[in-house]
Structure formats: C-alpha cells, structure tokens
C-alpha cells in the first residue's frame, strides 16, 4: 500500500465504521475487565488491608497495658509464625522483639506510615530469595516503634497474572473488534459502492442504468428504490424533451414552409393578393405557429411531470365553472347541452391542468358536433370510486381502431384537418390524466343522431 | 401615461416603445435591472413594463426591491415563462399583471392601460357608472336609464370588469384571466358568446350601444 493512499483509506466508510466498532468494543471490554480486576486482585489487596488494620487494633489494645504487655504480645505473635512479620523497637531504637533486627524501611516522621520494602528470606530448601513485603510502621505514644508487615509475594503474583490476562485479552479483543468492524462495514460500503457505480453510469450517459434492489427492504433498498424512481423520471423527462424537439421540427416545418411561400408570393410584382392582405394572412400563420409551439411546450412539461401543484380538490367546482363557460356556446350552435354532476369528486389535482384538459375535450365536442346535436358533460364516480369526468357528443366520433392513435401528438383524422387547432388537444388531455395517475378513455358517444359520437372520459383516482 | 420599459433585448424594447407610443403614451426604456430599478424609483411613472429575465438584477427581484422601497406604480411582467407557477411567482413579487411572450401588440396596450386605471382608481367604490349604465356593487344590481337589468353572477362580474375598464380595450385573454381565472385559450369562441349575451341584456333595448367590439383586439365599454 502506498503511503499516499493512507488518508484516502481513513476517509472510507469501512475504515471509520471499523474504528467506531473497535472503539465501542474496547470501551465495553475495558469496563468489563476493570470490574473483573476490582473484584479479584483488588479484593485480595483490600482483604489484606483489613487484616492489617485488625492486627494493629489488637496490638494497640495490648499497648494500653504498657510496653511490656505489647512486647509480650508481639513475641507471641512472632513465634506463632502467622501471616504477619513484626518488629518492636524501644525509644532508643533497640529491638525488643520481632522477626527483623532493624527497621527495613525508614521510621515515620509523623505517627504512621505505610511502607513497601524488600527483604532477604530463605526458601524451605534453604535457598536465599529476595521477597517483597508491605506493611505499616507506627510510632508509639511513649517512645518506640511498632512495625507489622506481610509478604506480598503470593498476592503480587496473583495480581500480575490477572493484569496480564486483562491486557492480553484487551489486545486480542481490539484486533477481533477491528476485524468484526471491517466485516460489518464492508457490506454496507459495498452497497454504497454499487449506488455510486450506478450514478456514475448514468452520468456517463446510460439513462437505463438502475441501482440493484436486494429485496431485503433495508435502508439501502429504500435508497436504491428512490434513486431508481428518480432515474426513471429523469429518463422520461429526457425522452420527452427529445421527442418534443422532434415533434417541433416535424410539425412546424410545413407551416413554416407555407409561411415562407406566402411571403415570397407577396413580394412578386403581379401578386395574387395585395401585399397587406398577404401580410395579414402571414400574421395569422405565425399566430397559429405560436399556438402550436406553446401547446407542444405545455404538453412536454405536463408529460415530464415538471409542472403543477397537486392539492386535494373537489373537482365539482371546476366542472361547474366549465359547464357555465361552455353552455352559451353550445346553445349558440344549437347543441342540446346537458350537465349532470355528482358531488364530492375529491382528487389530488392541479386544478389548472384539469380545467385545461376538460376545456380541450369540450372544445372538441363543440367543434365536431354538427348543429342540432347533443353535448353531455358528466362528472361522477366509477364503480370502484374513481372520479370520472366525461364529455359525450353526437358528432362523427372516432373509429375504434383510430382511438389510440389520435391521442398521440399532432394526429388529426382526415375529416378534421379543415378545423382550426393544433392537433394536441387529446394528447394534452391524456398527458394531464397520466400526470394525475389516471387515464383518458375514448369510446362511442351519443348515437341518437345516427352518428358514432364520441365519449372522452378522464378517469382519475379518488383521494 | 408615462411608462418605463425595462427590457434588455433592444429589438423587443423598441417594439414595446413603438406599440405604446403609437397608443399615445410616453415611454422611457432602460436596458438592465440595476439602472431600471434606480430609474423607476426616481421617475414618476404610471406603469412599469418589466422583462422577467434581465442581466444583473432579474425582473422579479427588481419589482420586489421597488415595492420594498415603497414604489407604487403598477408593474406588468413580460416573460417567455408562461406556466401558472411562473405567473404566481411574478404576482407574489409585487407584479400586477403578467403577459407571456409572444403577445399581440393590442394585448400589451390593453393591459398597460388597464394597469394605469387601477393605479388611479384604487379607492374602493360601491357604484360604477358608464353612460346611463349604473352598477351597485353592494346591492349587486344593474340599471340602465333607470331600468333594472337582471344578470347572472358571471355576467355581473364580466360587466363589472368592463365597467372598471370603461373606455379601454379589454382583450379576450384578459377576460379569461380576470373574470374566469383561466390561463389558457379555449379553441372555441366561448368568450365572444358570453359577451354577446351580456350585450343582449345591456344594449338590446337601447338606441345607443355601450359595448363595442374592437376588431382584432377585444371589447370596449364606452358611453
């Protein structure tokens, strides 16, 4: 591994998670071992301390009977060869009784001092050995010094072993926890790495790339699903804007060519039209072009889902207003207009889009239904609770085999070419329905006049 | 009217100036946002026409800054961005109207003149009168020469809008936006039919028509 790659390593999630894992593990095991130590080695030291205190207490009880009484007690205890060593000195520093000849440590300046010292002893088989003892030296009130000590050899050995075990297991634990941390965090890091590779692929231009979903429903799956949904939307958006560009190129070319020809004809000496008339017609052409252009843009935005603010709305109000707006024009054209609304048509909707889609359907109905025909506007619920808004006319209708096609952009059936319009009305209505997770369904309309009629129905999920 | 046009595209600015001058207004033109804001605050303008996308300070921030500084002249946004949310953004920033490019010259004139009227007639009124036509906004009644005229609620609002802009040209798009709150143009002549119905009620039995059709532009209510 290169040195330069070290900082990069420390930045990885694996490293950080492993370190965190190890730190937490060490914290826990350190507390555990500390407790273990406290309960074993610590307990032994404390026990010795208590016994030392008892010894002193008993000897000071003896001292209350005078120095000779104390001397006697020390001599007895020393000869009993118990756990403790003793030394009693008189006020001149001369030994009175005990196991040592001189104080193995300095006499205390004050009253009492705890000491630790080494002394020479012989083992059972007569070998000399240096041993460690701990004890307490106390100055007596009437002069003289008393020392009580105990050999810590056994206790110290125990302590050392326990602390050895503690340290060794801490080291092993640290290594194990690091390995554990790496193993755990590696799997997380791998998932993150997969996500990163997906986005890299997308950035490189492959919009069909999707992040893997493992099906466990964990956070990474949720993240992947979100990312995939986002990528799906992005892909649709790109495709939509691409196809909008294609449509514009395709469908604006012919009117632009017509406009150009008209202008050129107007320039000629013996022009068919007066120049002013030619100009006026050209302006009409341009207006038509702009209208188509705007319709294409609006359609693309709706299809891409880039527009609209959706709110839970009762569509009855919107359809009421549309009925009121269109009724006069129907009467003007001697169409029998009927409107039968139900109430509580709640939908998550962008009201402007719904109004525009319905307006397109009503425009079509008014345009294509001959005088004396029928135009019905309905707003109600489907059997499954969905909200249905429909416009039913008694016009020529659309043959069943053409119904899918007319929803596509710019498709206009032969007989309707003479009518004004961009050919985007049904496409927009369909796109609006899809933006609301609904659909536009075309069917047979009112056949009372002998014609096929058209029923255009927006089906929107109820909210 | 004295109008300040803030538009960075020289051709578009010249077009707006030409259209408004021809309609009899005094027009100043300014090419960028910073100086536009300064000029708007310094001059006594009856209306501002502001392009939404300007170098330096964009139109939205310009109008906001102008309003924050206490400027009261009504502002009309011109923009190629015509979606409803763009419109709402413009109106929230303190704009009074919003016109999407491209637009017909008559539409621009009609809207600017409608703005000027709003600025001067801000005082709440309870009665409107044009010729012999009187509207009582509280009682929701309309009389012409003392004769009561019955109107549907929408017809009432349509007439109210026309009366508030009496003498001015009002376009179909303006009626759709202000009376119906629709921001799209239906392919059928729905507005014309509504207006002709209203005309039938207020003009039919009288010698002198008040509601005139302005060819290629819209309608005008005038005594």
Query: pLDDT tens across B47-62, in order?
Result: 999 999 888 888 999 9
Strand ranges in A4-111 using DSSP code E only, listed in sequence order? 84-89, 95-98
Same domain? A57 vs A75 = yes
Same domain? B136 vs B158 = yes
Distance from CA of A359 to the nearest CA of B (A): 7
Of B183, B186, B188, the CB nearest to A352: B183
Q: Which helix (H) or strand (E) holds A398?
A: none
Same domain? A163 vs A24 = yes
CB contact under 8 A, B187 and A420: yes
Chain B residue with minimum CA distance to A333: B193
Same domain? A426 vs A323 = yes
Contact between residue A445 and residue A453 where contact means Cβ atoms under 8 Å apart: yes
Any idea which residue has 């007439």 for tokens? B159
Same domain? B9 vs B105 = yes
Same domain? B112 vs B135 = no
- Give the residue numbers spanning the domain of A279: 219-303
Of B84, B102, B188, the CB nearest to A366: B188
CATH number, domain of B189, equals 1.10.10.10
Same domain? B9 vs B111 = yes
Same domain? B27 vs B116 = yes
How far is the C-alpha of B193 from the C-alpha of B209, rounded, in Å? 17
Same domain? B145 vs B75 = no
Same domain? B88 vs B134 = no
How far is the C-alpha of B211 from the C-alpha of A329, rounded, in Å? 19
Residue A116 lies in a domain: yes
Query: In the listed set B120, B155, B174, which residue is the last one of a domain according to the structure?
Result: B120
Residue A302 half-sphere exposure toward CB, CA atoms < 13 A: 28
Number of structural domains found in chain A: 4
| Chain A residue numbers touching B199 (CB-CB < 8 A) | none
Same domain? A232 vs A325 = no
Token pair listed for A10: 């420390």
Query: In the listed set B120, B153, B178, which residue is the last one of a domain according to the structure?
Result: B120
CB contact under 8 A, A328 and B85: no
Same domain? B11 vs B97 = yes
Same domain? B83 vs B136 = no
Torsion of CA A312, A317, A320, A324, to 10 degrees: -120
- Give the residue numbers spanning the domain of B131: 127-221
* Most B-contacting residue of A327, A329, A351, A427 (CB-CB within 10 A), to test interface: A329
Same domain? B106 vs B14 = yes
Residue A180 lies in a domain: yes
Same domain? A371 vs A429 = yes
B131: number of Cβ within 10 Å: 16
Residue A276 lies in a domain: yes
Of A328, A174, A346, A197, the C-alpha closest to B154 is: A328
Number of structural domains found in chain B: 2
Same domain? A246 vs A178 = no
Contact between residue A56 and residue A42 where contact means Cβ atoms under 8 Å apart: no
Tens of pLDDT, residue by residue, chain A (463 residues):
444 455 566 677 777 777 887 788 888 878 887 887 788 777 877 888 888 888 888 888 888 888 888 888 888 888 877 778 888 888 887 888 888 877 777 777 777 888 888 777 766 676 777 777 888 888 888 788 888 888 777 666 777 787 788 788 878 878 888 888 788 777 778 888 888 888 898 888 888 888 888 888 888 888 888 888 888 888 877 776 776 677 667 667 777 888 888 888 888 877 676 778 888 888 888 887 887 777 777 777 777 765 557 889 999 999 999 999 999 999 999 999 999 899 999 999 888 889 999 999 999 999 999 999 999 999 999 999 999 999 999 998 888 888 877 776 555 555 454 455 556 788 889 888 988 889 999 998 888 888 889 999 999 999 8
Residue A279 half-sphere exposure toward CB, CA atoms < 13 A: 4
Would you call B194 an interface residue with chain A, using a CB distance cutoff of 8 Å?
A: yes
How far is the C-alpha of B179 from the C-alpha of B111, rounded, in Å? 14
Same domain? A253 vs A298 = yes
CB contact under 8 A, A328 and B194: yes
Chain B residue with minimum CA distance to A293: B102
Q: Mapping DSSP to helix (H, G, I), strand (E, B) and coil, where does residue A380 land?
A: strand
Token pair listed for A451: 């014609």
CB contact under 8 A, A332 and B193: yes
Same domain? A317 vs A344 = yes
Same domain? A50 vs A77 = yes
Contact between residue A90 and residue A96 where contact means Cβ atoms under 8 Å apart: yes
Strand ranges in A311-373 using DSSP code E only, listed in sequence order? 311-314, 336-341, 346-349
CB contact under 8 A, B190 and A329: yes
């Amino acid at each position: 591994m290169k040195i330069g790659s070290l900082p990069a390593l420390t930045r990885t999630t694996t490293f950080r998670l492993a370190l965190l894992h190890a730190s937490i593990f060490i914290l826990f095991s350190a507390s555990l071992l500390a407790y273990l130590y406290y309960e074993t080695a610590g307990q032994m030291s404390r026990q010795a301390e208590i016994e030392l205190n008892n010894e002193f207490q008993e000897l000071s009880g003896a001292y209350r009977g005078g120095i000779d009484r104390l001397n006697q007690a020390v001599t007895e205890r020393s000869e009993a060869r118990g756990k403790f060593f003793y030394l009693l000195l008189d006020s001149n520093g001369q030994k009175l009784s005990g196991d040592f000849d001189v104080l193995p440590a300095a006499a205390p300046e004050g009253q009492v001092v705890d000491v630790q010292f080494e002394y020479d002893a012989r083992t059972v088989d007569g070998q000399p050995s240096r041993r460690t003892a701990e004890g307490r030296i106390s100055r007596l009130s009437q002069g003289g010094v008393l020392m009580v000590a105990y050999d810590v050899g056994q206790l110290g050995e125990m302590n050392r072993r326990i602390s050895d075990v503690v340290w060794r297991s801490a080291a092993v634990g640290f290594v194990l926890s690091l390995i554990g941390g790496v193993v755990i965090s590696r799997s997380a890091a791998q998932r993150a790495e997969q996500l990163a590779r997906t986005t890299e692929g997308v950035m490189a231009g492959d919009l069909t790339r999707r992040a893997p979903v493992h099906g466990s429903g964990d956070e990474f799956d949720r993240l992947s699903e979100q990312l995939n949904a986002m990528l799906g939307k992005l892909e649709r958006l790109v495709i939509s804007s691409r196809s909008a560009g294609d449509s514009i190129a395709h469908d604006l070319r012919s009117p632009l060519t017509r406009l150009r020809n008209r202008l050129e004809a107007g320039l000629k000496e013996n022009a068919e039209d007066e120049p002013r008339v030619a100009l006026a017609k050209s302006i009409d052409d341009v207006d038509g072009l702009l209208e188509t252009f705007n319709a294409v843009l609006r359609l693309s935005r709706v299809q891409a889902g880039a527009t609209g603010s959706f709110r839970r709305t009762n569509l009855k109000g919107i359809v009421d207003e549309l009925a009121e707006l269109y009724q006069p024009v129907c009467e003007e054209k001697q169409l029998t207009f009927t409107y039968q609304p139900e109430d509580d048509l709640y939908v998550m909707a962008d009201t402007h889009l719904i109004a525009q889609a319905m307006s397109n359907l009503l425009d079509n109905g008014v345009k294509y239904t001959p005088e004396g025909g029928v135009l019905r506007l309905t707003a109600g619920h489907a059997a499954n609770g969905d909200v249905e808004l429909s416009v039913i006319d008694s016009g020529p209708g659309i043959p069943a085999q053409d119904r899918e096609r007319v929803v596509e952009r710019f498709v206009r059936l032969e007989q309707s070419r003479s009518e004004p319009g961009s050919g985007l009305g049904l496409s927009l209505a369909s796109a609006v329905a899809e933006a609301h997770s609904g659909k536009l369904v075309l069917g047979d309309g009112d056949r009372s006049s002998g014609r096929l009629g058209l029923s255009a129905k927006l089906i929107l999920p109820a909210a | 009217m004295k109008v300040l046009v803030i538009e960075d595209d020289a051709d578009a600015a010249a077009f707006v100036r030409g259209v408004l001058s021809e309609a009899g207004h005094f027009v100043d033109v300014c090419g960028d946002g910073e100086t536009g804001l300064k000029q708007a605050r310094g001059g006594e303008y009856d209306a501002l026409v502001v392009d939404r996308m300007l170098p330096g300070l964009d139109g939205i921030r310009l109008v906001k800054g102008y309003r924050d500084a206490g400027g009261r002249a009504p502002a009309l946004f011109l923009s190629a961005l015509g979606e409803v949310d763009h419109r709402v953004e413009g109106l929230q920033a303190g704009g009074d109207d919003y016109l999407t490019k491209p637009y017909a010259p008559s539409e621009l004139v009609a809207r600017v003149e409608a703005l000027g009227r709003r600025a001067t007639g801000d005082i709440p009124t309870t009665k409107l009168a044009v010729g012999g036509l009187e509207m009582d906004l509280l009682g929701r009644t309309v009389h012409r020469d003392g004769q009561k005229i019955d109107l549907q609620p929408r017809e009432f609002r349509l007439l109210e809008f026309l009366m508030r802009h009496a003498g001015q040209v009002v376009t179909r798009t303006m009626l759709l936006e202000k009376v119906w709150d629709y921001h799209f143009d239906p392919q059928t002549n729905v507005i014309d039919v509504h207006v002709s119905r209203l005309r039938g009620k207020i003009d039919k039995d009288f010698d002198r028509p008040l509601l005139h059709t302005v060819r290629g532009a819209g309608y005008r209510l005038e005594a």
